[in-house]
Amino acid sequence: MTPAARIQAVIELLAEVVETPRPADTVASLYFRARRYIGSSDRGAINTRFYRAMREYIRLSWWVEKCGAETTPRNLIVAALIFDREHTAESLPMMFSGERYAPDELTEDEYKLAQALEGKKLDDAEMPLRERCECPDWAFDALQSALGPRFETELKAMLSAAPLDLRVNTIKAKRDDVLKRLKQEGFDAEAGKISPLSIRVLGRPQLSQHELYLQGHFEIQDEGSQMVALVAGAQPGEQVADFCAGAGGKTLALGASMDNKGRIVAMDVLGGRLERAKERFRRAGLHNIETRALTSERDKYVKRAAGKFDLVLVDAPCSGVGTWRRDPDKRWRQLGPGLSSLVPLQKDILDSAHRLVRPGGRLVYATCSLLPEENELQIESFLAAHPDFSIDPVSARINVEGAGDFLHMTPARHDTDGFFAAVLRRKEQVNDTKQEAGSDKEAEQAAT
């Protein structure tokens, strides 16, 4: 592909993301699948420019509007090419030539925009803090309150691309052996700094077809996500429920830590994702996992299995604030339900899932969010309603910066996605039988 054709592809991708509710990675995947003639080097160059534009979207929009222009995909890419010093106002017309596969010729207004931006810096002193940190309006006040003096540092840490982390599957391999193999094959890889199972591979190579991946020796999983499973501390022989298992990433980590001994029930309301996860379980060599599709968080199974599990993990659906460097489009467009829907849903899930925990067992609540409304405040509300549970401090389980009563993984401190986790332990003897009976009655009514 010519450089001009690559620019046109980026414009088309950005336009698709702006106009549809699909996640950006899905948009890109479908785009390239429909254009199999695009080679790997061209795909890499297009994706690099595409994701960079999304990470700069709010700042680019501020500049385009400041210059009196509309925030169209073409204008945003014109601005991006100027700010990233890839082109000047004089060289842009050669790319926007209107020739085959190239973008249409620059309009007079687009050319004037390029001229107005020439010599400017993307991060301007006049730019407000919110725009400078690429923070959406709806999260600005809450994140400032939660992060305090670390707000700008943490938000800017999410402006770079996420690294590629692997979790070695201890059922089949050892980290040192996998790391040695990758290095021998020329990959720029190093042991993770936080998780004892992690390997970080620099340069983001495509590893989903690597022999070791296909044989189940490792999974692709952010190091922060690995820490949630480590905090949960699933043990061999335990009965474990992964209440919001999704695609099974944390289920796999739990199963490996149990050394295939005991039982895991992976549950989710999205049965299709559980079906697809089965192949991941087989590849990993895990045979202690069963799946169960739920009709809702109040599925009748929860009442039937009440008090049967040593560990229940609730990896709750959330805003995904902690994954912004991985999913930059979540910063400036709404994908899925907002906080007003997510917060009560998280509460309902916790209120139902806790019934599965046996006396003396553990309930682990986790999100990939940095917002207190989805994290600490949810735990505070839950404990007020369920006094038979108490906080089991994370600091007693792991020695990681930011671990106290709860686990707080953040991009700036740990170079991971943002994660929150709380471990709650149920009292050996349930005293508040009246409350539990009421909860079960409500659950039965909801299920029927």
- Residue 410 backbone class (left: φ over 0; alpha: ψ -120 to 50; beta: rest): beta
Beta bridge partner(s), residue 423: 364
d(CA 248, CA 256): 12
Pairing of strands 407-409, 419-426: antiparallel
Element (H, E) at 389: strand 389-391
Which residue bears the tokens 């049965």?
271
Alpha-carbon span 163 to 161, nearest angstrom: 6
Question: Can you give the C-alpha Rg of the chain in angstroms?
Answer: 24
Residue 441's contacts (CB-CB under 8 Å, 6 or more residues apart) are none
Q: Say how far residue 296 (Cα) sits from the centre of its chain.
A: 23
Tokens of 124: 């301007």
Q: Determine whether 318 is an active site residue.
A: no
Residue 100: exposure state from Cβ atoms within 10 A (0-12, 13-18, ≥19): exposed
**Of these residues, 133, 135, 318, 368, which one is catalytic?**
368
Catalytic residues: 368
